[in-house]
Amino acid sequence: MIHRDIKPANIILCARGSTFDVAKVVDFGLVKQLGPVADEAAAGESNARSSGPDVSRAGYIVGTPLYLAPETMREPGSVDGRADLYALGAVAYFLLTGTVVFGGNCEMDACRHHVVTPPDPPSRRLRAQRPDATIPEDLERIVMQCLAKAPADRPASAKALHAALMACSVAGKWTDADAGGAATAFHAPKPPNSRVLDHDAATTEVSVTAKTIAIDVTHRM
């Protein structure tokens, strides 16, 4: 299946017993099933969507513009799991730099950037804000691979991406003790005037909504 709406708001870090940083993906409202089960799922689809846009109808783009893979706009019928890996790369970019890969003046502007604009390497974006900050080259290489315009240039699967990340120089340096301490600090009372990162404003351009939307491209492109 394809999630089709991977973004920071849909990834929750949890504690499972004494294990911290257990990532849970939530909000499966836009999931698209692939393979033999897809026809059965379509036949038994709930009528709950009938009051809103048909997110599977031709001519519609569904998802969050800040995290949409290029093929979602170019060839929506060819979208597979590598679109989720693109979105995950965009999430990693945001975690590393505090900014989204592409913003824009409107939703369609952000979508256009995903299709035609090469992304800045996260290290370059980060240095513009913190000149002394660095990002490991092998980690940056994986993030940029996830953000490749062509699906064939991205990791072949989530399993392949996991293997690449586990081979990174930073793998294993974040310990359970680190995670536990971070979780405790996160839930502690915040001091007055503490700055919370505004996700929607974290872009070098005018902010685009971080909400899931359906765009009728037939009338807007």
Q: How many other C-beta atoms lie within 10 A of the C-beta of residue 42? A: 11
In the chain, the domains with their CATH numbers are 8-35+53-170+198-220 (1.10.510.10)
Amino acid identity at 80: D
Q: Residue 192: its pLDDT value, please?
A: 61
Q: Residue 57: its pLDDT value, please?
A: 52
Cα gap 146→87, rounded to integer Å: 8
Look up the pTM and report it: 0.78
Q: Which residue has the tokens 């299946």?
A: 1
Q: Quick check: is 5 catalytic?
A: yes
Among the listed residues 5, 120, 198, 200, the single catalytic one is 5
Instruction: Please report, in tens digits, the pLDDT of each residue of the chain (221 residues total).
Output: 899 999 999 999 888 887 888 899 999 888 888 765 444 444 444 443 433 334 445 556 778 899 999 999 888 888 899 999 999 999 999 999 999 999 888 888 999 999 999 999 999 999 998 999 999 999 999 999 999 999 999 999 999 999 999 999 988 888 888 888 877 777 677 666 544 444 444 444 445 767 776 666 555 44
Q: Residue 47: its pLDDT value, please?
A: 42
Pairing mode, if any, of strands 19-25 and 60-63?
unpaired
Residue ranges with strand state E in the chain: 11-16, 19-25, 60-63, 213-216
Amino acid identity at 35: G
Furthest C-alpha separation in the chain: 56
Helix 137-146 and helix 122-129, axial crossing angle in degrees, nearest 10: 120
Integer CA distances (angstroms), 156 to 42, 81, 90, 133, 148, in order? 26, 9, 17, 30, 12
Encode pLDDT of 169-180 as tens digits.
988 888 888 888
3-class secondary structure, 20: strand
Encode pLDDT of 29-81 as tens digits.
888 887 654 444 444 444 434 333 344 455 567 788 999 999 998 888 888 99
